[in-house]
Amino acid sequence: MAVETKGMLFEYGLTIPPLALVFKFNPQEISRSRTVTVKTGDAPGSRGGYDFLSPLETSRVAQGVEMQAESFSVTILLDATDALNDGDAIAKTFGVQPQIDTLRSMAEPKAQGPGGVKVLASLGLSGARAFERDETASVLVFAWGMQLLPVFLTGVTQKETMHLPNLMPYRAEMGLTMQVIESANPFFLADKVRQTIGTGLNLASGLGA
User: Is 55 a domain residue?
Assistant: no
Residue 2 DSSP SS3: coil
Please write the tens of the pLDDT for every residue from 137-169: 899 999 988 889 999 999 999 999 999 999 999
> What pTM value is reported for the model?
0.80
Closest C-alpha to 23, from 171, 138, 151, 160 = 171
Given this model, what pLDDT does residue 192 score? 92
User: Is 109 a domain residue?
Assistant: yes
Instruction: Give the number of domains in the chain.
Output: 1
User: Is 159 a domain residue?
Assistant: yes
Q: What is the domain extent for residue 113?
A: 6-41+60-208
Residue 16 DSSP SS3: coil
User: Is 34 a domain residue?
Assistant: yes
Given this model, what pLDDT does residue 95 score? 97
DSSP state, 15?
B
Kindly list the strands in the beta sheet with 140-144, ordered across the sheet, starting from the edge strand earlier in the chain: 20-24, 6-11, 140-144, 147-163, 169-180, 71-79, 30-33
Give the residues of the chain that fall short of pLDDT 70.
1-5, 25-28, 43-46, 113-116, 122-133, 207-209
User: Is 53 a domain residue?
Assistant: no
Given this model, what pLDDT does residue 46 score? 66
User: Is 81 a domain residue?
Assistant: yes
Given this model, what pLDDT does residue 115 score? 62
61 and 50 Cβ atoms separated by less than 8 Å: yes
User: Is 69 a domain residue?
Assistant: yes
User: Is 47 a domain residue?
Assistant: no
